[in-house]
Structure formats: structure tokens, C-alpha cells
């Protein structure tokens, strides 16, 4: 099926993937609803902001958006890989343990309470959604801890229960909200990539990059964990520590992604599978390549989302679903002929 993975091969693949990512990002920076002439951009930032809209659009709108899409895509894809490995379930994705409803609850609470203050220029929805996401993960983890054995199933069930409960609370709050509040929350939740200032991008990007590196470090252990906690333990893995680290990192990275851009679905589910189908299930390869592939995917999807129904901006989550579904289907059909899934 595939040749054996060696360090050299892996480095080559990662390097190639990163080159593709940079190229895609450059191309997508040039695409948009307004025509931007690169020559004007390089003329620099003239004094008096009205003088050089090309520069403004390119440097302050397009480039940050493309970078943010890459960061969020990488975060969701790598988190998806981890959740699939730990829960030993190919249908797992980053929101499976209730993060989505927790973030949604945080967001709608912020809107209804009329919170005004911002953190680092991020809207209150983002901050509350982040807190909601992390709080929910902690809650689900805590519930699962109460069970003595069969952690995996308990985690999944706890996630389902928390999701259901929080969704009910969200529905209650929505019914009370003004229509503008309601629409605001829904649009925010649908997932949008917007410009952020470079400091926020640096923080988030650095965090996601470090998280992916950390997950790569434990990827051989993740390989073993897919055979179940008993097997993994007998192979010498400290399953409790690995599980805690992996969940914590994957959840944190997902919470960051959600707070930056709302709930963008499909990336965390599809990208890991696509990479797995093309390159195999070894997590030492799967994690870094999924991160890069997720970045490429979301950059492309966001570019489509912001140009296809100009001048409106379609929420990027719609594109990821519409594009992601059939793409995955084709990949699946072509490759199940070569290997069993």
C-alpha cells in the first residue's frame, strides 16, 4: 500500500505541503470582490487613508483574512485527527464533545446581556464563546471522570447530554432575544472569517503551531491508542497522561478556532479522512499534514465564500459543507478500491 514512513519522507512531505499552502495563500490574497492592483499595494501606505484603498484592502483585509483562515483550518483539522484517534471513531470531529453548543451558549449570552467590552479588539461574542467552549469541555471531562471505566463511551455520552441540554438553553434564549440579537448570534455561529489585527493573529497562530507540534510529539502514542486503552497500556504507553494531554490540547485549539471564527463545520471531520486516505493512518504524518491541508482547504473555501455572492459575504461554513461533502465522496470511492478503510 504505502512505503514505510521515515523521518526524511515526512519532512519532504511537510515541506511540500507548506509550499503549497503559501502559494494558495498568495493567490487567494489577490482574489476578492474588489479589484486590487498589486502595483498600488507596493506603492505603500500613503498618508490619509482614503488615498490608497488598494493597500488598505490588501494589507488590512485580505492578508489577515487569509492568514486567519489558515490558522483556523489548521486548528480544526488537527483537533479532528486527535478526537478521531482518542474516541476511536471515524465520525468524531472537534465539536463532538459539546464545544459547539457551549460556544453557542457563550455567544448568545454575550449578545443578550449586551456586553460591550472587548478583549484585544475581539468582540465580546468571541470571548464568551471561548469561555463557553472551554467550560463545556471541562464539564464533559468532569462528568466522564465520575465513571470508573470505559472512558471513551462515557465521554461521548456526556458530550451528547451536555450538547442537548445547552441546545435547549440556547433555544430558550433565542426565543427571548430581539430579532437583531438572534440574527447576530446565528450569523456569528455560522462561521465567518474576518480580519483580525496582527497581534491576535500572532497569538493564535503561534498557539496553534505549538499545539500541532505538541500533538506531533505524542503521535506515536496516538497510533497505539487507536487500538484501545488496554492495548496501548500494554505497549508501554502512559494512557492517562496521553489522553489528558491530547484532549486538553485539541480542545484548547478548537476553542481558539471557535472564538476566532464561529462554528465552521466539516473541516475537522473531512480533512483528517482525506489525508488518511491519501497518506495512511500513521499519526506522525497525519497530524502535520492534516494541519496544513486544513489550512489550505479553509483558505480556499473562504475565498469562495467571500466572492461567490458578491457583494454579500456568504458564511464560510456553508462552503465547507457544500464543497467538502462531494469532494470527500469522490476521494472515498477512488481509494476504497485500493485499500480497505
Partner 1 sequence: MKLQYLIIAFAIWIVLSVVLFASRSSSTQPVHDVCEPQRIISTAPNLTEILFALNLDERIVGVSRNSNYPPESEEKPKIGTFWQPNIEAVIAAKPQLIVTLSFEQQINLAHRLDRMGFNTLTVKIEDLGDLYTAIEKIGTSAGRMQAARQVIDSIKTNLNNLSKKVRAYKKPGTLWVVQRRPLRVAGPDTFISRLIQIAGGKNVVESSIYKYPPIGAEQLYACNPEVIIEASENCENLREQRKEALEYYKKFKGLSAVENRRIHVIDADSVSRLGPRIDSGAEKITECLHPALTEPACGGSQLFYDKD
Partner 2 sequence: MSIIEIKNLNFSYTAKQPVLRGLTLDVTAGSFLAIVGPNGAGKSTLLNLLSGLLRCSSGTINVDSRSLKSYSSQSLARKIAVVRQQTPPPFGFSVLETVLMARTAFFTSSGFESSEDLSIVDEALRATDTFAFKSRPLTSLSGGERQRVFIARALAQNTSILLLDEPTSFLDLRHQVKIYDLLKVAQVEKSKTIIAATHDINLAAQYADSALLLKPAATHRGESSASSLASCFEYGAVHEVLTPQNVEKTFAVETFVSTVGSERFFLPLGSLAKDRRILSRQNKTDRI
Residue ranges binding partner 1 (CB under 8 A): 32-34, 48-50, 53, 56-57, 60-62, 111, 118, 121, 123, 125, 175-176, 178-181, 183-185, 187-188, 194-195, 197, 199, 202-203, 206-207, 209-210, 213-214, 216-217, 306, 310-314
Determine, following the binding rule CB under 8 A, whether residue 180 of this chain makes contact with partner 2: no
Determine, following the binding rule CB under 8 A, whether residue 37 of this chain makes contact with partner 2: no
- Nearer to partner 1 among residue 190 and residue 323 (C-beta): 190
- Rounded least distance, CB 269 to partner 2, Å: 14
- Rounded least distance, CB 333 to partner 1, Å: 35
Determine, following the binding rule CB under 8 A, whether residue 261 of this chain makes contact with partner 2: no
Three cell numbers at 225?
Answer: 491508542
Distance CA 329, CA 321 (A): 12
Determine, following the binding rule CB under 8 A, whether residue 183 of this chain makes contact with partner 2: no
- Rounded least distance, CB 341 to partner 2, Å: 6
DSSP track, 137-165: HHHHHHHHHHS-S-HHHHHHHHHHHHHHH
Determine, following the binding rule CB under 8 A, whether residue 111 of this chain makes contact with partner 2: no
Near partner 2 by CB under 8 A: residue from 100, 109, 223, 320: 223
DSSP track, 288-313: HHHHHHHHHHHHHHHHHHHHTTTTS-
341 binds, among partner 1, partner 2, none (CB under 5 to 8 A by kind): partner 2
Determine, following the binding rule CB under 8 A, whether residue 276 of this chain makes contact with partner 2: yes
188 binds, among partner 1, partner 2, none (CB under 5 to 8 A by kind): partner 1
- The answer to whether 304 and 230 are in contact (CB under 8 A) is no
- Rounded least distance, CB 233 to partner 1, Å: 22
- Nearer to partner 1 among residue 61 and residue 67 (C-beta): 61
Distance CA 338, CA 304 (A): 32
Distance CA 71, CA 59 (A): 17
- Rounded least distance, CB 123 to partner 1, Å: 5
- Nearer to partner 2 among residue 37 and residue 336 (C-beta): 336
135 binds, among partner 1, partner 2, none (CB under 5 to 8 A by kind): none
Determine, following the binding rule CB under 8 A, whether residue 337 of this chain makes contact with partner 2: no
- Nearer to partner 1 among residue 213 and residue 332 (C-beta): 213
- The answer to whether 110 and 224 are in contact (CB under 8 A) is no
- Rounded least distance, CB 7 to partner 2, Å: 5
Distance CA 106, CA 71 (A): 22
DSSP track, 84-101: HHHTT-TT--TTTTTHHH
Determine, following the binding rule CB under 8 A, whether residue 220 of this chain makes contact with partner 2: yes
Instruction: Please write down the long-range contacts of 83-88, taking CB distance under 8 Å and 24 or more positions apart.
Output: 83/250, 83/268, 84/272, 85/222, 85/223, 85/225, 85/226, 85/246, 85/283, 86/152, 86/222, 86/225, 86/243, 86/246, 86/247, 86/250, 87/152, 87/155, 87/156, 88/152, 88/225, 88/226, 88/228
In the complex, the residues that contact partner 2 under the rule CB under 8 A are 1-2, 4-7, 84-85, 88-90, 216-217, 219-221, 223-224, 226-228, 230-231, 233-239, 276-277, 280-282, 284, 339-341
Amino acid at each position: 500500500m504505502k512505503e514505510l514512513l521515515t523521518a526524511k519522507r515526512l519532512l519532504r512531505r511537510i515541506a511540500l505541503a507548506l509550499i503549497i499552502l503559501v502559494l494558495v495563500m498568495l493567490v487567494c490574497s489577490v482574489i476578492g470582490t474588489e479589484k486590487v492592483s498589486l502595483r498600488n499595494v507596493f506603492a505603500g501606505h500613503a498618508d490619509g487613508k482614503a488615498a490608497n484603498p488598494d493597500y488598505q484592502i490588501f494589507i488590512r483585509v485580505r492578508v489577515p483574512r487569509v492568514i486567519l483562515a489558515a490558522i483556523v483550518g489548521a486548528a480544526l483539522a488537527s483537533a479532528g485527527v486527535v478526537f478521531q484517534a482518542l474516541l476511536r471513531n471515524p465520525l468524531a470531529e472537534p465539536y463532538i464533545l459539546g464545544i459547539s453548543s457551549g460556544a453557542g451558549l457563550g455567544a448568545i449570552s454575550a449578545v443578550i446581556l449586551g456586553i460591550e467590552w472587548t478583549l484585544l479588539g475581539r468582540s465580546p461574542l468571541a470571548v464568551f464563546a471561548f469561555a463557553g467552549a472551554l467550560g463545556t469541555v471541562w464539564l464533559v471531562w468532569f462528568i466522564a471522570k465520575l465513571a470508573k471505566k470505559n472512558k471513551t463511551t462515557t465521554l461521548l455520552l456526556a458530550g451528547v447530554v451536555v450538547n442537548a441540554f445547552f441546545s435547549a438553553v440556547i433555544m430558550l434564549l433565542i426565543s427571548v432575544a430581539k430579532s437583531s440579537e438572534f440574527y447576530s448570534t446565528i450569523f456569528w455561529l455560522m462561521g465567518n472569517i474576518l480580519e483580525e489585527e496582527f497581534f491576535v493573529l500572532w497569538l493564535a497562530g503561534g498557539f496553534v503551531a505549538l499545539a500541532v507540534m505538541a500533538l506531533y510529539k505524542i503521535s506515536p502514542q496516538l497510533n497505539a491508542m487507536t487500538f484501545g486503552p488496554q492495548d496501548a497500556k500494554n505497549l508501554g504507553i502512559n494512557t492517562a497522561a496521553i489522553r489528558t494531554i491530547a484532549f486538553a490540547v485539541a480542545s484548547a485549539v478548537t476553542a481558539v478556532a471557535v472564538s476566532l471564527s464561529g462554528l465552521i463545520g466539516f473541516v475537522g471531520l473531512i480533512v483528517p479522512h482525506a489525508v488518511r486516505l491519501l497518506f495512511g493512518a500513521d499519526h506522525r504524518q497525519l497530524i502535520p499534514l492534516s494541519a496544513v491541508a486544513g489550512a489550505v482547504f479553509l483558505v480556499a473555501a473562504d475565498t469562495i465564500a467571500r466572492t461567490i455572492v458578491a457583494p454579500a459575504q456568504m458564511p464560510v461554513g456553508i462552503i465547507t459543507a457544500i464543497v467538502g461533502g462531494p469532494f470527500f465522496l469522490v476521494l472515498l470511492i477512488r481509494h476504497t478500491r485500493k485499500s480497505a478503510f
